[in-house]
Amino acid sequence: MSNPLQKLINRYLSDNNISRANFAKQLGYTNVSKGLKRLDEFLIALQSPNPELPALILKHSDISETDFQDAIQAVQLKLDDKLRKDFVPMIRVIPIYYPHPLSGMKHLNIKVPESILDLPYDQEIKVICDLYLKFRSKVEFDVPENWGSGAKGFRYFRNFGEVLVFDKNCKLLKNSNTSSIIK
């Protein structure tokens, strides 16, 4: 099953009798296999290690920018719908510094009850703060060596696209919905 962006590119390639391999070469890939992989990553997930890939596609095709952007937006909406469906609220402690490897970050995720969003907002925030403070109570010291102490506060991923940022005393600092710092 192909998405609107894949259909747009495939239609362009078919109409112009260009193989996918030749298109990858036109995009600057000497390793065709790698080029096809990168192209598919972009067409399916809108991800590419090359931030210039969308511009290269437009440069090396006669696809209109409007059609291209419309197809990208359709794919993004579908990706967002899937993420929204799979979203689970969670707390992530803000580390003092980021460890290497970043896989250690998983220890900074605090699960929240599934029914959290059913609570009135004030109760929801109280439960979230209690969970964070319980995490903090298990921390024995606040020194830089303990990067996961939570001394910088936490982020509460409340809904898809909504993040609340709190300091270590559970004071709300920022709400991503308002995009402003709360004083």
Q: What pLDDT is recorded for position 16?
A: 96
The yes-or-no verdict on residue 19 having pLDDT over 90 is yes
| CA dist., res. 92 & res. 58, Å (int) | 39
Q: What pLDDT is recorded for position 181?
A: 46
Residue 157's H or E segment, with its range, is strand 154-159
CB 10, CB 44: distance < 8 Å: no
The yes-or-no verdict on residue 104 having pLDDT over 60 is no
96 with 172, same domain: the answer is yes
180 pLDDT band, cuts 50/70/90, is: very low
Q: What pLDDT is recorded for position 72?
A: 95
| CA dist., res. 75 & res. 139, Å (int) | 43
CB 3, CB 75: distance < 8 Å: yes
Q: What pLDDT is recorded for position 128?
A: 93
Give me the domain span that covers residue 175.
Answer: 88-181
Q: Identify which of 60-69, 136-145, 151-160 has the greatest average pLDDT.
A: 60-69
107 with 63, same domain: the answer is no
The single-letter code of the amino acid at 2 is S
The single-letter code of the amino acid at 119 is L
Domain boundary among 85, 115, 134: 85
In angstroms, what is the C-alpha Rg of the chain?
22
Domain boundary among 85, 108, 128: 85
Bigger pLDDT: 73 vs 174: 73
The yes-or-no verdict on residue 32 having pLDDT over 80 is yes
3-state secondary structure of 16: coil
Render pLDDT for 121-132 as a digit per residue (tens, 0 to 9). 999 999 999 998
129 with 171, same domain: the answer is yes
Counting residues of the chain whose pLDDT is more than 70, the rounded percentage is 83
Across 2-12, average pLDDT:
95
47 with 111, same domain: the answer is no
Across 1-22, average pLDDT:
94
Q: Number of structural domains, the chain?
A: 2
On average, the pLDDT of the chain sits at 85
Bigger pLDDT: 13 vs 149: 13
71 with 127, same domain: the answer is no
The yes-or-no verdict on residue 81 having pLDDT over 80 is yes
Q: What pLDDT is recorded for position 150?
A: 67
68 with 105, same domain: the answer is no
177 with 92, same domain: the answer is yes
Across 130-147, average pLDDT:
72
The single-letter code of the amino acid at 100 is H
95 with 69, same domain: the answer is no
The yes-or-no verdict on residue 10 having pLDDT over 70 is yes
Sheet architecture: strand order including 180-181: 109-111, 90-93, 154-159, 162-166, 172-175, 180-181
Domain boundary among 85, 109, 143: 85
79 with 113, same domain: the answer is no
For the chain, where are the alpha helices, taking DSSP H only?
4-15, 20-26, 32-45, 53-59, 65-86, 121-137
- Residue 152 DSSP class: T
CB 73, CB 4: distance < 8 Å: no
108 with 164, same domain: the answer is yes
112 with 31, same domain: the answer is no
Residue appearing with tokens 């024995």: 140
Q: What pLDDT is recorded for position 54?
A: 95
